Every structure is written in C-alpha cells, then in structure tokens.
Amino acid sequence: MVMKKSNKNKNIAGGRVHEYGNATRGETESWKKQKLVQIHQAFNSDPVDIETLRKAAVSDGGLLTNELRRKVWPKLLNINVYDLPHRPGRDVRENHKDYNQILLDVRRSMKRFPKGMPASQRAVLQEQLTDIMLEVLRRNPQLHYYQGYHDVAVSLLLLVGERTAIAMLHTLSNHHLRDFMDPTMDRTKHILNYLMPILEQVDRELHDFLIRSEVGTIFALSWLITWYGHVLSEFRHTLRLYDFFLASHPLMPIYLAATLELE
C-alpha cells in the first residue's frame, strides 16, 4: 500500500483525523461539555432530534461516551428499545446450515473481547454471539452468512447487550450490510470496485500507480465487510468508527478506505 504524507487537519466527513489536536485541555473539556448537552437535548426532545444526533455522531469525538452510544445507536437505526426481540431459544441452533461455520468463527473471535475478561464471562458472550447471528439469519432466510459478519455482531453485543444487538443487527443486515449477504460476492466486489474511481478523482498519480501494481481492491475487503472491526486493535476506535457509519450512508466504509489510501 502506498502511503502519502498526511495533512494533520484533513477532514473526514466533518471530523479531523487528529481530534482535539491543537486544543488545550481546558478548551477540550469545555467543548466536550457543550457537546454532551447538545446530545442530551437532542435525545430528550419530542420527537427525538435525529439530525442533530447524526451530526454529533460524525463530528469530532463522535458520541463521546459508551453510555450515550447505548442510547443513541438504536435511535440512529429507528429501533424501539421498548419492543426488543426476545432472547433466542436453544432451538435456534437446530438444523441451521451456517451453524458450524459460525461456531468456528466465534471460537476464533477471542481477540475481539476486552483483555483480561474472565474466561467464563467471555464464554457466555460467545454463546450469545452465536445465537444472535443465528436468530437474525433465521428471521431473514434470504440473507446469507459471510465470514466477517461476526466482527460486526460482536461489536454490537459488547456495547448494547444481547436483545438490542439482535434488533440492530437485523436492521443493519437488511440495509447497511445487505450487499454482503447475497449468495455470491458479486455485489460486494461491485462496491469494492468503487474504490479506484474515487482515488482517480482525488489523486490520479496514486490511482495510476495502484493500477500498474495490479494490487486490486481485495486488500480493502475485510475493512468493508467488518466495518474495520477485524483490523482495529482498540475497541474504543471501533466504537468511534461505528458512530460514524451508523449515522452515514451505507457506502461510507468504502469512502473511508479511499481516505486511508490517500493518507
């Protein structure tokens, strides 16, 4: 991958790459307090001010705290938290064609859980992770499991819990992630193919180099289909990115891939 010298204040959809880069500690704290007030006001208004919440999610700092994320994320997907799905029964695992593959992927997901988490607690969460994916797939037989789906599911589970994660994953699977859940990868490859034209518009030299190198676009596949959860080592960075994606157009992950190439 070719990396260009970065611009410290380059914008990504309204948020700087280096958030709070030049602010003093006092200025940052004051700014955070103001933003917290704005988010709370938008959330508590009647009706909820979704547009302000979206702007907060994509701008510097995102939604700021995990407590706010638990409240705002469902709102961004128009989910009624007072009418959540029931926890899956044990029968959800019976005769499901993807059960064995899901089980293998979940067993390989250890690095996605916080360091130091007791093994017993992680085992419970892995059981829940398996069941929430199977439940969403059971409810949507037109959808097909793909390797990497569990990276999105585990991020939701760790933040919002089992029942809200089912509701969010159901909505995302039918919208933001829908193209990845076809029987074939044709539509996924089609989205990956947007990458080069975007680069061509911004940096023709880089675009031409990548074409000559025949690197293709497959390097961005895991970024796209896992919402970067598979490649980010810090969970807080994953959460911040999910703020951005949940409030943005479903194609935003491919635009972020282009931005990373241009850095």
Indicate if 177 and 74 belong to the same structural domain. yes
Q: Quick check: 11 pLDDT over 50? A: no
What are residue 11's DSSP bridge partners?
16
pLDDT at 194: 93
Which structural domain, as residue segments, surrounds residue 51?
9-64
Indicate if 37 and 157 belong to the same structural domain. no
Q: Are 251 and 191 in contact (CB under 8 A)?
A: yes
Indicate if 234 and 185 belong to the same structural domain. yes
Q: How many domains does the chain have?
A: 2
Which residue among 45, 64, 83 closes a domain? Answer: 64
> What single letter denotes the amino acid at residue 6?
S
Quick one: pLDDT band at residue 63, thresholds 50, 70, 90?
very high
Which residue among 28, 46, 64 closes a domain? Answer: 64
CA distance 181 to 178: 5
**Does some domain include residue 4?**
no
Q: Quick check: 22 pLDDT over 70? A: no
Q: What percent of the chain has pLDDT over 90?
A: 74
Which residue among 19, 41, 64 closes a domain? Answer: 64
Q: Is 16 helix (H, G, I), strand (E, B) or coil?
A: strand
Quick one: pLDDT band at residue 156, thresholds 50, 70, 90?
very high
Indicate if 94 and 47 belong to the same structural domain. no
Closest by CA position to 260, among listed 206, 209, 214, 215: 206
- Mean pLDDT of the 21-25 span: 65
Indicate if 128 and 216 belong to the same structural domain. yes
**Does some domain include residue 3?**
no
Indicate if 26 and 73 belong to the same structural domain. no
Indicate if 25 and 127 belong to the same structural domain. no
Estimate the share of the chain in helix, then strand, then coil, as percent rounded to the nearest 5: 60, 0, 35
Indicate if 131 and 150 belong to the same structural domain. yes
CATH number at residue 223: 1.10.8.1310
Indicate if 128 and 170 belong to the same structural domain. yes
15-19, 67-71, 127-131, 186-190: the lowest-pLDDT one = 15-19
- Mean pLDDT of the 194-204 span: 92
pLDDT at 248: 96
**Does some domain include residue 21?**
yes
Indicate if 185 and 85 belong to the same structural domain. yes
Indicate if 88 and 207 belong to the same structural domain. yes
Indicate if 46 and 96 belong to the same structural domain. no
Number of C-beta neighbours around residue 45 at 10 A? 12
Q: Are 81 and 74 in contact (CB under 8 A)?
A: yes
Task: Considering only residues 116 and 9, tell me which one the structure prediction assigns the higher pLDDT.
Answer: 116
Quick one: pLDDT band at residue 23, thresholds 50, 70, 90?
low
**Does some domain include residue 114?**
yes
Quick one: pLDDT band at residue 214, thresholds 50, 70, 90?
confident
Task: Considering only residues 41 and 94, tell me which one the structure prediction assigns the higher pLDDT.
Answer: 41
